[in-house]
Amino acid sequence: MDASSRQSTAVARFRRLHEDGCFVIPNPWDAGSAIFLENLGFEALATTSAGFAFSRGLPDDPSVLPRDVMLDHIAEIAGATKLPVNGDFQSAYADDPEQVATNVGLCVLTGAAGLSIEDATGLRDRPLYDEPIAIERVKAARAAIDASGVPVVLTARCESFLVGAAEPERVALSRLAAFAEAGADCLFAPGVIEPAAIARMVKEVAPKPVNVLVSTMNRTLTVAQLRDLGVRRISVGGALARVAWGAFMRAARSIAEDGSFASFGDAAPFDELNALFER
Tally of CA atoms within 13 A in the half-sphere of 134 that contains its CB: 26
pLDDT score recorded for residue 56: 96
Total residues belonging to the chain: 279
DSSP state of 127: -
In degrees, to the nearest 5, what angle opens at C-alpha 243 toward C-alphas 240 and 248?
130
pLDDT score recorded for residue 1: 79
pLDDT score recorded for residue 224: 98
Question: Phi/psi of residue 30, each to 5°?
Answer: -155, 180
Q: Does residue 34 contact residue 45 with C-beta atoms inside 8 Å?
A: yes
Q: Does residue 114 contact residue 141 with C-beta atoms inside 8 Å?
A: no
pLDDT score recorded for residue 279: 75
pLDDT score recorded for residue 169: 97
Transcribe 46-114 into DSSP letters: E--HHHHHHHTT--S-TTTS-HHHHHHHHHHHHHH-SS-EEEE-TTTT-SSHHHHHHHHHHHHTTT-SE
Low-confidence ranges of the chain (pLDDT < 50): none
Distance (Å, whole) CA 195 – CA 225:
9
pLDDT score recorded for residue 34: 98
pLDDT score recorded for residue 6: 94
